[in-house]
Amino acid sequence: MISPADMAATHAAAFTQARPWSAGEFAELLAQRFCHAEGDRSCFALFRVIADEAELLTIATHPDLRRQGRAKNCMLRWHDRARNLGATQAFLDVAADNHAALALYSAIGYTENGRRPQYYPRAGAAPCDAVLMTCDLSQG
Ligand SMILES: CC(C)(COP(=O)(O)OP(=O)(O)OC[C@H]1O[C@@H](n2cnc3c(N)ncnc32)[C@H](O)[C@@H]1OP(=O)(O)O)[C@@H](O)C(=O)NCCC(=O)NCCS
């Protein structure tokens, strides 16, 4: 289990380009009946399952603990939970310049199915596209 305060701390350490989400924001999300968390302080994911669709809201691994398989394991665990809740498809969006996350999602079966041009603002640079990705959860 991970508390909203620990989520906020890991999120702030992990995300350098985006505004960190506060403990209060995490607590509000977790209070929603479709929203769930997986992981611990080293790596966690927040996801939502509505009917047969699951959406990844965020995932973060602490910068000191990367490339040890934590995010991959966390993704596979939340997929299992989403499947148990009835989801057959997962989706997410990711910045086109986030090469680590794109590699992670591709490695576990996500494929691109659309783009939102210039979706993410970038300080001092042009906005970055959002890549929309889906994964078939019925394949296990
Ligand atoms: C993306 C992120 C969650 C990956 O966490 P992680 O725990 O380091 O990832 P894993 O160790 O589980 O990596 C699994 C696979 O993903 C890919 N991958 C992960 N990080 C990568 C990187 N920096 N470069 C290239 N491939 C990478 C690799 O295929 C890796 O397998 P390998 O190590 O055997 O080659 C982490 O970099 C992070 O927290 N980034 C900041 C927050 C963020 O961008 N979240 C996603 C928002 S959509």
Which tens digits make up the pLDDT trace of 57-99? 999 999 999 999 999 999 999 999 999 999 999 999 999 999 9
Q: Which domain holds residue 42?
A: 4-139
pLDDT at 17: 78
Q: Is 68 in the pocket of ligand 1 (CB under 6 A)?
A: yes
Q: Is 60 in the pocket of ligand 1 (CB under 6 A)?
A: yes
Determine which helix (DSSP H) or strand (DSSP E) holds 121, and give its type and residue range: strand 111-122
Supply the DSSP symbol for 63: G
CB 57 within 8 A of CB 35: yes
pLDDT at 18: 81
Mean pLDDT of 8-36: 95
Which tens digits make up the pLDDT trace of 102-132? 999 999 999 999 999 999 998 899 999 999 9
Look up the CATH number of the domain holding residue 51: 3.40.630.30
What is the overall mean pLDDT for the chain?
Answer: 96
* Measured distance CA(103)–CA(3) in Å, rounded: 28
Q: Is 76 in the pocket of ligand 1 (CB under 6 A)?
A: no
CB 44 within 8 A of CB 7: yes
Q: Is 66 in the pocket of ligand 1 (CB under 6 A)?
A: yes
CB neighbour class for 16 (10 Å; exposed up to 12, middle 13-18, buried from 19)? exposed
Domain count, the chain: 1
Q: Is 94 in the pocket of ligand 1 (CB under 6 A)?
A: yes
**Closest atom of ligand 1 to CA, residue 101:** 1
Answer yes or no: is pLDDT of 40 > 70.
Answer: yes
Answer yes or no: is pLDDT of 140 > 70.
Answer: no
DSSP, collapsed to helix, strand or coil, labels residue 110 as coil
pTM: 0.97
CA of 61 to the centre of ligand 1 (A): 8
Instruction: Tally Cβ neighbours within 10 Å of residue 83.
Output: 16
